[in-house]
Chain A
Amino acid sequence: MSTEEITKKANELSLEKTALTSAEELAVKHPLNSKWTLWYTKPPVDKSESWSDLLRPVITFDTVEEFWAIYNSIPKASELPVKSDYHLFKEGIKPEWEDELNSKGGKWSFQFKKPDDINDLWTRSLLSVIGETIEEDDSDEVNGIVLNIRKGFIRIGLWTRTCDENTLLPIGEKLKKVLKLTDDMKLEFASHQASNIRGSKPLLTV
């Protein structure tokens, strides 16, 4: 398949409606506190592709059962090609700095050098976000979580709404446990505005 055909298919990607409703659909589902949208950044296979062409919403869900059905259907973190990203964000928030709800915030992130258990770490991250146990209070601070697959490393970043230290520190401590980081492995928080500045130091570290 040529690169043009792949690009065309990616552009045509959308949720296909069917008239059928499965039997499970009728069963009781466990609602999540928020509605979430999974986004995917496709690696560029053609130089003409822009960022907006590559970043696409995949699916939106709001129950535990729907989450697992999606999780079991899509490629695992370890199966994604290099330069791919998974983004899981609350519905209505685009996984971009420019989004109004992201622009004043930042992200807690950690870069792994090709961990063997990336599928486990990414799953734990997703569960802490959709289960909303990453936040101890009702501050509604977390906007989403991102997985970057790169040639030499894999990065997980938790995007927040603000840069408020008091709210962010407990979230950072919790994420550190979720990612199974040891004391000598530092999780860093940088505001999106500072991320534009080369060589800028992290705002917070846990």
Chain B
Amino acid sequence: MMVRYTEEELLKYKDAGSLPQGADLSGFVKMVEDVKVALAAVCENDENHFPNGRRRSSANHHRPIFRKNKHKEFLPRPDADGWITTAKTKKSFGSAEGEVSRDVFRESVKDSFVKAKPNNKNIGSSKPADPRDVIADKNTVTFNAFDALVDDEDDNEEGDEE
């Protein structure tokens, strides 16, 4: 059977306590006291270093860099009645209203289709992006000055020796 005690029943024995046999809590109590003293010393040390509760902003002999907001927001000024009117920014094709704008845009560019040839001049691969460039890039026979110096007669002589 489960033994239960109400708060009132337990309180009746408050002053009749005895520690478990062989138990000594003096070490624990001293340790808690020592921790309190050590933590107080740490706090005091911190206060001596930073009497204002914070580190000096120029503690390292140069001024801190405070970054300014790059995008400063300009709010409209209130009117005579103290009201501010803000314009709602238009979202690109994000709503039903946007769909109309999108269709208008598509219609406007429908007939102005521009054929663009890809430029692979600066691309690392030697493979042409456009297959028609294969023809343009094909090796061609060019004039070679050394070939031109060779006499036709030499060829004939060689043929005679054989």
Quick one: closest B residue to A32, CB to CB?
A: B3
Quick one: closest B residue to A19, CB to CB?
A: B22
Smallest beta-carbon distance A24→chain B, Å: 4
Contact pick for B10, options A17, A33, A82, A131, CB 8 Å: A131
Q: Give the residues in chain A near B15, CB-CB below 8 Å.
A: 68
User: Does any Cβ of A come within 8 Å of B146's Cβ?
Assistant: no
Q: Give the residues in chain B near A60, CB-CB below 8 Å.
A: 20
Contact pick for A10, options B11, B20, B31, CB 8 Å: B31
Q: Contact between A3 and B38 (Cβ–Cβ < 8 Å)?
A: yes
A70 to B26, CA, bound (A): 11
A65-B34 contact given A45-B42, A138-B2, CB 8 Å threshold: no
User: Does any Cβ of B come within 8 Å of A203's Cβ?
Assistant: no
Q: Contact between B13 and A68 (Cβ–Cβ < 8 Å)?
A: yes
Question: How many of chain A's residues have a CB under 8 angstroms from any CB in B?
Answer: 56
Interface positions, chain B 1-55, Cβ under 8 Å from A, are 2-7, 9-11, 13-25, 27-32, 34-39, 42
Quick one: closest A residue to B7, CB to CB?
A: A127
Question: How many of chain B's residues have a CB under 8 angstroms from any CB in A?
Answer: 35
Q: Give the residues in chain A near B31, CB-CB below 8 Å.
A: 6, 9-10, 13, 42
A18-B24 contact given A64-B13, A80-B32, CB 8 Å threshold: yes
A29 to B18, CA, bound (A): 9
Q: Which residues of B contact A (CB under 8 A)?
A: 2-7, 9-11, 13-25, 27-32, 34-39, 42
Q: Given A68-B15, A70-B17, A131-B10, output 13 extra A-B contacts at Cβ < 8 Å.
A: A10-B31, A21-B21, A29-B18, A30-B5, A45-B39, A66-B17, A69-B19, A70-B19, A81-B39, A131-B4, A131-B5, A131-B6, A133-B4
Q: Which 7 A-B pairs have the closest CB atoms?
A: A69-B17, A68-B17, A24-B18, A131-B5, A17-B22, A33-B3, A69-B19
